[in-house]
Amino acid sequence: MTRIGIIRERKIPADNRVPLTPGQCRMIMKRYPDISIAVEPSPIRCFADEEYKLAGIPLEDLSGCDLLIGVKEVPPENLIPDKTYLFFSHTKKAQPHNKPLMQALIRNRIRMIDYECLTHPDEQRILGFGLFAGIVGAHNGLLAYGRKFNAYQIPAAHTLRGRKEMIEAYANLVLPPVRITVTGSGKVAAGVLDVMTGLEIEYVEPQDYLAHEYEYPVYTHLKGGTLYERKDGTPFHRNDFHAHPEAYRCVFGPYLAQTDILMNGIYWDEKIPRLFEKKDIHRRDWRISVIADITCDENGSVPVNLGASTIADPVYGINRHTGEREAPFQPSPDIIDIMAVDNLPNELPRDASEYFGIQLEKYVLKELLREESAVIRRATICEGGKLTERYGYLHDYAYS
């Protein structure tokens, strides 16, 4: 019998998502008689304790469980030694703020399987909340533009009961002839494109977007070879770009003068060229008035991201002349509004959790039950008090 426990989220600020919904827990135990699931009581989950109880899932202490699953990082003091954990640990890049967690995982002999590291053989990620980050981020970007110019009104995503109600809010929405650029090729971008389709915003090819004005709202989508080019003039190749990003330059520059809303969904690290530089906001032809930095890397691909905002206060302004933060929603062309919420799926937590749980059962659960699994091995950062070979590069981070 494999005993799975759904842990209480304890990270601050609070996260109300779950890895498995009550209905999914019930169906898993029905499909897999050798699996039992228990839930640690929590006052903050988007699915209440009572909903799990009604689904036949016991609420109890999880010390007797073999596999403990959550969403966000577990505070070091709450780790149970010698257990297997699944959550987003945010340690694979040696993130400084999670160094105490990494060291606690080693010290407590935890087998740490990181959702972010669960990949298919071609290294494509299996699990994530990116789709709903894109959906909510696009919604928030449009909300910010409407408020900034008093052009239309849509409700904040976190005030809605779910994705269905969000779609209903779009039913009578009439957008001005706004121009939107979407960047990225992953699940975040897919979520943004879902909103573009739902609002019937017309897609135009990048070359047409740059060459023409339109009397209706349009968007273009930049990724891969339409966003980066190799410095030596040879063709763009995805694998080469990921292996040698420093050999490429970003070609976003012309869009700075042609875009009203930038919805940024690219993965970024310090070796990847930025979309633009801070000095570019001083350009006389700068047009962008709202940036939804959905992947939310402070001083990253969007260098005027001065840090994460919150669900309650999602937008801040940036003065183009001083680079300083100001109040948002000023119609002045001198103020760029930045949406930089770093926990966007929490605004539609029940929908996001259900989507995540479907992927977890479909692609990961069977792998966890196997004696040996390449999928699980690739995602195991440490076990038995040691880093696994794949993550040996974290040695100084884990032990110093």
Q: Please give the structure tokens belonging to residue 72.
A: 């966000």
Question: Would you state the pLDDT for residue 13?
Answer: 83
Please state, rounded to an integer, the average pLDDT across all residues of the chain.
Answer: 96
Residue written as tokens 């990949």? 119
| Nearest residue to 67 (alpha-carbon basis) of 35, 43, 100 | 35
The per-residue pLDDT for range 47-56, each reduced to its tens digit, is 999 999 999 9
Q: Is the pLDDT of residue 69 over 90?
A: yes
The per-residue pLDDT for range 345-370, each reduced to its tens digit, is 999 999 999 999 999 999 999 999 99
Q: Is the pLDDT of residue 14 over 90?
A: no
pTM listed for this prediction: 0.93
Q: Identify the band that residue 256 occupies on the pLDDT scale cut at 50, 70 and 90.
A: very high
Angle between helices 187-198 and 130-148 (to 10 degrees): 50
Secondary structure of residue 54 in the 3-state scheme: helix
DSSP states of 137-200:
HHHHHHHHHHHHTT------GGGSSSHHHHHHHTTT----S-EEEEE-SSHHHHHHHHHHHHTT
For residues 373-389, give the mean pLDDT.
97
| 154, amino acid identity | I
Secondary structure of residue 38 in the 3-state scheme: strand
For residues 184-191, give the mean pLDDT.
95
Domains along the sequence of the chain with CATH: 2-110+349-399 (3.40.50.720), 130-347 (3.40.50.720)
| Nearest residue to 13 (alpha-carbon basis) of 313, 227, 294 | 313
The per-residue pLDDT for range 314-325, each reduced to its tens digit, is 999 999 999 999
Question: Would you state the pLDDT for residue 123?
Answer: 84
CA separation for the pair 214, 26 (Å, rounded)? 51
For residues 268-291, give the mean pLDDT.
95
Q: What are phi and psi of 283, to 5 degrees?
A: -60, 140
Question: Would you state the pLDDT for residue 183?
Answer: 98
Question: Would you state the pLDDT for residue 173?
Answer: 93
Q: Is the Cβ–Cβ distance between 233 and 206 less than 8 Å?
A: no
Cis omega (within 30 of 0) for bond into 206: no
Question: Would you state the pLDDT for residue 229?
Answer: 97
For residues 79-106, give the mean pLDDT.
96
Question: Would you state the pLDDT for residue 269?
Answer: 84
The per-residue pLDDT for range 122-152, each reduced to its tens digit, is 888 999 999 999 999 999 999 999 999 999 9
Residue written as tokens 């995805």? 238
Question: Would you state the pLDDT for residue 40?
Answer: 98
| 158, amino acid identity | H
DSSP states of 256-276:
GGT-SEEEE-----TTSPPSS
Q: Is the pLDDT of residue 46 over 90?
A: yes
